[in-house]
Every structure is written in structure tokens, then in C-alpha cells.
Structure 1
Amino acid sequence: MAITAAMVKELREKTGAGMLDCKKALEDSGADIERAVDILREKGLAKAAKKSDRIAAEGLVSISISEDNKKASIVEVNSETDFVAKNEEFKTFVNDITTIVLKSNANTVEELSNEKYLDTESTVQETLNSKIATIGENMNIRRFDKFEVETGQVAGYIHGGGKIGVLVEMETDSNSDEVVALGKDIAMQVAAMNPKYISQKDVDPDYIAHEKEILIQQALNEGKPADIVEKMVVGRLNKQLKEVCLLDQPFVKNPDVTVGQLVQDLAKKLGTSINVSKTVRFEVGEGIEKKEENFAEEVAKQLKN
């Protein structure tokens, strides 16, 4: 029976093994997919697939920035345990992926998975499967983002050894190192305070309407007269917006000035405009439901595998 591309694809999806390994297994099995699965398992090449249902909520965030500060990438790669996230092989893999993202045209994780892994003949997905088999935990490239500016600079910050990563894009004519230093400070601010928006003009009208409704109900529940509730709510809403908008927040290094004032001061000093145009913040495992397990039980499970 002839081995088709569809059969190779199906086997790859079942096992997570490399394309060439799947083709060879199909040849050895006489095009019997179930037997080919067994062959790959026997060789240890399907080990990654066996672990694919485990929750990977730990891991690392990494950033890579070009020498001219015009391009940058940020990547989150997840593992099952923090122990593996501290493994040097895992760290190297994450850094490599960040470098690949910086240089590639991939826009999705699926596209990235089919990119060549550095100077090897393997794809990113094939290399990831190999790492899973070697390290013994489920791992996945969860997400990435890329910044590229023509007129401006990009800066970044990593917090907690890779638990939080931030990139900041600034539109400006200046190539001063002071702009990059400012960007790093702003990235640190974003890491610490996690603002929802850059400025009040970016705020979603639906967010304002929703928050206003809640604040009105709060004021009424406090027994405030209905005729003054509207004025009270305006004041409370303005205060809340200053907390969720980056440029209105007190600067973490010097609470006497806002981030917006910090930007304006440097722009005035350099004689040019500086506009914080985009930020991205990745925190390891955010939004993933983590599985609570006793460490001793987890070790016992690993020993049984």
C-alpha cells in the first residue's frame, strides 16, 4: 500500500513525532498506522504525545531585541514544573525560540512550529518534541509577539528571572540611549502595575460604561442621595482611569511624577516628541488553570514513567 502525505500527517498528529520518523515508521509497518504508532513508541519518538494532556502552566518568558532597537520579540514557553523552567536546556531552548521569532515572518504559533530550528534540518516542532522526550515533561510554545518600528525605538524588561516579560514601543525621531533607558523604565512600570491601557484616549467605551454602572450602584448602596451620585461617580471614575492608564500612573521609581510627565520631560530635553505607542506584557501561566499536586506524589509519578 502506498504511503500518502495524509497518512504521514495523521501519524504525526497522533504521536507528535517528526515527519521523516513518521514516514519511516509507516514504511516499516507496511502502511499500518496503528502499528506505526507502536513502532514510534518503541523508539521513544512518541513520548511527547503521551505527555500532551498534562497541564503546562509554568515556564519562562523571554525577549530578544535587535542591536539597533528597531525590532523585538517576546515569547512564552510553558513547562509542567518550575523545576524544568530552571533547567539550562529549557532556558536555551526558550532563548533560541525568541531569536527565531525575531528573524522569522511567522505570525502564528503553527507557522512558527514549521520554521527551521536555527541552523539545523529540524523544524521548531520537531525540536520541541525531542526536548519533551529528553526532559520528560509536556512543554509548549504558548504565544509570541513582535514589534518593529521605522521611526522609533523598542525596549524591554524581564522580571523574576523570566516570570514576566514586557516590550515597549516608542515613536520618536531620537536614537538617543536615553530613550531606550526610558523604555526600560516604562517596561518595568508595566511589569509591576499591569495597566489596561496606555492613555485615557485608548480606553474602551464599553469598559467606561460598565465601570460607571458599578460605581453608581456602589454609591446608591452606600446611601448617597441620587441627585449627587452622578457627580460622585465622575470623580471616582476619573480616579480609577488614572490607575488603569499607564501614562497617568505614578512612576514606580518616583511616585511624585507620572509616567506621562517622565515621557514629556525627556522629550523636552531631547527637543523631540516621544509617544508610547504600544506595550505587551506576558506573565507565565496567566489564564491557565494550574493543577495542584503534592511534590512527592509528582516525583513518584515521574519515577514510574
Structure 2
Amino acid sequence: MKISASEVNRLRKSTGSGMMDCKKALEESGGDYEKAIEILRKKGQKVAANRADRESSEGVVLAKVNSDKTAGIIISLNCETDFVARNQDYLKLANDLANHALSFDTLENFLSSSFNNMSVSEKLLEQTGVIGEKIEIGTFKKLTAPYVGHYIHNGNKIASIIGLSGIIKGAEEISKNVCMQVAAMNPIALDENTVPTEIVQKEIEIAKDQLRKEGKPEEMLEKISQGKMKRFFKDNTLINQSYIKDNTMTVKDYLKLSDSDLKITDFQRFSLT
């Protein structure tokens, strides 16, 4: 049967598949639109199965916040090559998925949710067939707070979100500056009390081993290593880090400039680099 250009174009817009693939699917389905979508989806499943062992280390990382600034999400849409990651259709898909992800608290619920008349998981399989590369969600991080800010570094390779304890004048600028701090300095925890115990113990042992090699007496190791840990906490915990826009103050000091009671409740960061 003859397939019209408008039918092909409709299927192309719906699935993102190439014109020839859409025409072939419509011909195979006898012009049945839903069957043609299923044919393209099965093609995606075959491609996905063949590329299951491929590494999807490229892609884009996006951060989004909801309209009232009380929830934020970091999501990455991973692929195999930077060439695909820079494609405008791919970026649009990533943005659409990130906006959709704001409504969900877990990756599992997000993947099973309805998106463009199919589940998110099915959409990823479909696009694997369309693009010819392994396409998957690489990370999914959700944060809620009285005020949530976000930042995406140039190139969509690093994104961060932070929560503030309250809504104050200038919250948007403050949260963006702190998000930039998180993106640039990659803190491992909010403060010294939230650094995982195993990391603290490991750093203390590293410090003690170094001191032993320097010939320091055993009875002095504990005191000196605790001093080294103060430096470790300053370099690696967000509120104690030197503020990147003014290294004469810490991030904690920067927050106090606007409101002495303002605190960071949590933060998330993800990088594809």
C-alpha cells in the first residue's frame, strides 16, 4: 500500500526515527500507526540487546527545579559518544525527561512512569534503536527543601543542586553561587559531622602512616593526625571550604552575610567528566 508523506512525518515526530525507518515500519504494518510504533520499538530492543555490554560514559547532565523551588533533580542521559550527546534532538529528549523526572522520588518510579504514550524505559529502548547507541539513565538524584537552587556547568557535564533552610531575599543568587561552589570544589559532605565514618578513619590512618615515615614518636601521632583532619575537613566539607568567589571567607561565612540563621540543608552533585 502507498504510504503518504504526512503519515511518515507523523511517525517520525512521535518516535524520532529516520524517515526511511518510519516509512518501512508503516509499510510493514500495513499503514497501522500503532503497529508501526511497536515495530520501531522492537527494533530498539534488538539494538539494545546487541549493545548491552557497551559503556555509556558520554551524555548530558541536567539539573531542574520545580516552579515553587521546593524540589530539585539531577539526571543524566547517557550515551556512547560525544557526537550524539551534542545533538539537539538528544538534548531536547534529555530536557523533556528531566522535567518529567521532577514528579518522581525514585528512579524505579520514574522509569516505569508514562512518557509520550509509553514508559520511560520503553522510550529509552526506542531511542537506542533510533540513535544506534546504548541510551540509559546514568544518575537520578532528588532533593527537597524550603528553597532549592541548581547549576549546570557549561557543556552539560556537571550539575549540582542545593537546599536552603529558608526563603530569603536573594535566595536565587545565593543558591546559584553555592551550587557553583559544589560543582567546582566537589565537597564530599556538608560538614565534618556528615563525613562517613569509614572515610574519617581511613584519613586518620593515612595521616598516622605518613607521620611514622617522618619519624614522629607514636605518642604524638593522635594529636598531630587530628590537626591534619581539621585541614581535611576544611578542604572537603562544603560549609568549611574557602568560598570560590572570595577566599577570605568560608561558605558558612558567605551564608551569614545574608542571614545569620540561613543554612544549607543538603546538596547533590554529579559529573560525567
* TM superposition score normalised by structure 2: 0.80
Cα 1:205/1:129, change in 2 over 3 Å:
closer
2:231 and 2:264 map into 1 onto residues whose CA distance is 21
Counterpart residue number, 1:125: 121
SS in 1 for 2:225: helix
Counterpart residue number, 2:135: 139
Structure 1 residue 225 displacement after superposition = 2.9
**Count of residues in Structure 1 that have an aligned counterpart in Structure 2:** 236
Matched, 1:114 2:102: no
Counterpart residue number, 2:163: 169
Matched, 1:86 2:80: no
Cα-Cα RMSD: 2.2
2:249 and 2:195 map into 1 onto residues whose CA distance is 22
Counterpart residue number, 1:63: 63
Identity of aligned residues (%): 29
The aligned runs of 1:1-305 (5 Å cut-off) are: 44-45=43-44, 46-103=46-103, 105-108=104-107, 110-117=108-115, 120-149=116-145, 152-172=146-166, 174-176=167-169, 178-268=170-260, 273-284=261-272
Cα 1:175/1:241, change in 2 over 3 Å:
closer
Structure 1 residue 232 displacement after superposition = 2.0
Cα 1:106/1:230, change in 2 over 3 Å:
closer
Cα 1:85/1:229, change in 2 over 3 Å:
same
* Paired letter, 1:275: K
Would the aligned equivalents of 2:143 and 2:267 in 1 still touch at CA under 8 Å? no
Structure 1 residue 226 displacement after superposition = 3.0
* Paired letter, 1:217: D
* TM superposition score normalised by structure 1: 0.72
Structure 1 residue 175 displacement after superposition = 4.1
Gaps of 5+ in 1: 1-27, 29-38, 286-305
1:226 and 1:49 map into 2 onto residues whose CA distance is 58
* Paired letter, 1:169: G
